């Protein structure tokens, strides 16, 4: 339990740090914050006054930050230029992004771990080399290049998948984008798992397990996999946050009406407050995910718990 408390305190500290960085970046550092919020648009003096008022810009700095934090705790992610709260704009977009990220995550976990274990158990064979070539390929091609290529080849040319939009619903409309989102992480997972399994196969305790007369299936399944999956679980959980980042590009490219698309369009349209609001929400989710991962990890690896 002390571990849990310590981890939560750490997370709280990181949360304050992150919010401070974001706050400093958007409201304090670069010249006139209102101008920065406005981006390229010219603003009427009344709007400027309203914005200064709304963001408490005439108060002392730490009071401003306090207001910002208090808002954040109430789920206030700021408002866009037209006065709509960013959180409201996000509300009905969540299902799309969650479906996309989770689909990608499951693909990443299942295929990544599967390929990694397969490559490790067939080390040095053509299976291993094929998996290696595939993972290097998947790491080298940037996700938006991959997305366009996949759209062009699998969508337009062969008509295997719908090219864009969610009219097809889940899963048909989501498989191709999810594959693109997952590609990079999938490659990382499989390389990580491969290395871990190979390492663990040589471990002393595996030799003990063999000496006990356990079947190979049990030796690999209980002893090798359990220990090999600990780093993979860490990676996968942290990667859930990165997947949310990946959905920004993919939802933009595939025109899926999720949070990522909102951010994509906000960036393109120079809608500063929306960019900051959406990013902050995603970053906080990432933080929550990484706390969860550590707790999950402490369940898998007793050495952490009793540290």
Part of the chain binding another protein (CB under 8 A), chosen from 41-49, 64-72, 102-110, 262-270? 262-270
Nearest to another protein of 39, 169 (CB atom)? 39
Site for another protein in 209-228 (CB under 8 A): 209-215, 218, 222-223, 226-227
Dist. CA 54–CA 83, nearest whole Å: 11
Nearest to another protein of 54, 140 (CB atom)? 140
Residues linked to residue 79 through DSSP beta bridges, in sequence order: 85
Nearest to another protein of 1, 46 (CB atom)? 1
Residue 148 interacting with another protein (CB under 8 A): yes
Q: Which residues contact 279 (CB under 8 A, 6 or more apart)?
A: 22, 263
Q: How many helices (H) and strands (E) does the chain have?
A: 15, 0
Which among 196, 217, 236 is positioned nearest to 112, based on CA atoms?
236
Give the shortest CB-203-to-another protein separation in angstroms: 7
Residue 76 interacting with another protein (CB under 8 A): no
Part of the chain binding another protein (CB under 8 A), chosen from 16-24, 47-55, 70-78, 105-113? 16-24
Site for another protein in 116-135 (CB under 8 A): 124
The token pair at 55 is 């963001």
Dist. CA 161–CA 110, nearest whole Å: 21
Give the shortest CB-140-to-another protein separation in angstroms: 4
Residue 30 interacting with another protein (CB under 8 A): yes
Which of 84, 149, 168, 172 is close enough to bind another protein by CB under 8 A?
A: 149
Dist. CA 218–CA 248, nearest whole Å: 42
Residue appearing with tokens 């007793």 = 302
Nearest to another protein of 29, 169 (CB atom)? 29
Part of the chain binding another protein (CB under 8 A), chosen from 22-30, 57-65, 72-80, 86-94? 22-30
Which among 24, 76, 81 is positioned nearest to 48, based on CA atoms?
81
Which of 3, 7, 36, 57 is close enough to bind another protein by CB under 8 A?
A: 36
Which among 197, 182, 178 is positioned nearest to 112, based on CA atoms?
182
Long-range Cβ contact pairs of 5-12 (< 8 A, separation 24 or more): 7/291, 7/294, 7/295, 8/291, 11/287, 11/290, 11/291
Residue 263 interacting with another protein (CB under 8 A): yes
Part of the chain binding another protein (CB under 8 A), chosen from 42-50, 76-84, 171-179, 278-286? 278-286
Which of 77, 100, 276, 293 is close enough to bind another protein by CB under 8 A?
A: 276
Backbone torsions φ then ψ of 268, nearest 5 degrees: -65, -35
Count of residues that bind another protein according to CB under 8 A = 76
Dist. CA 193–CA 114, nearest whole Å: 9
Residue 280 interacting with another protein (CB under 8 A): yes
């Amino acid at each position: 339990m002390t571990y849990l408390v310590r981890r939560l305190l750490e997370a709280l500290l990181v949360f304050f740090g992150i919010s401070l960085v974001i706050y400093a970046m958007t409201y304090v550092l670069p010249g006139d914050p209102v101008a920065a919020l406005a981006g390229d648009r010219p603003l009427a003096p009344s709007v400027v006054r309203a914005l200064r008022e709304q963001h408490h810009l005439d108060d002392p700095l730490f009071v401003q930050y306090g207001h910002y934090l208090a808002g954040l705790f109430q789920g206030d992610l700021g408002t866009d230029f037209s006065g709509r709260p960013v959180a409201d704009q996000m509300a009905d977009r969540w299902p799309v992004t969650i479906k996309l990220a989770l689909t990608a995550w499951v693909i990443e976990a299942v295929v990544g771990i599967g390929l990694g274990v397969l490559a490790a158990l067939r080390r040095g064979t053509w299976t291993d080399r094929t998996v290696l070539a595939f993972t290097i390929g998947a790491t080298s091609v940037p996700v938006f290049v991959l997305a366009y290529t996949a759209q062009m080849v699998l969508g337009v040319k062969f008509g295997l998948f719908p090219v864009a939009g969610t009219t097809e619903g889940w899963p048909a409309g989501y498989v191709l984008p999810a594959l693109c989102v997952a590609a990079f992480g999938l490659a990382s997972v499989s390389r990580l798992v491969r290395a871990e399994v190979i390492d663990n196969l040589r471990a002393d305790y595996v030799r003990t397990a063999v000496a006990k007369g356990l079947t190979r299936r049990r030796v690999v399944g209980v002893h090798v996999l359990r220990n090999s999956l600990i780093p993979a679980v860490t990676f996968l959980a942290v990667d859930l946050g990165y997947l949310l980042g990946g959905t920004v590009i993919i939802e933009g490219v595939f025109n899926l009406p999720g949070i990522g698309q909102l951010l994509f369009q906000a960036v393109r349209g120079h809608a500063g407050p929306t960019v900051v609001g959406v990013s902050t929400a995603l970053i906080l989710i990432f933080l929550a995910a990484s706390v969860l991962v550590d707790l999950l990890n402490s369940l898998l690896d007793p050495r952490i718990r009793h540290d």
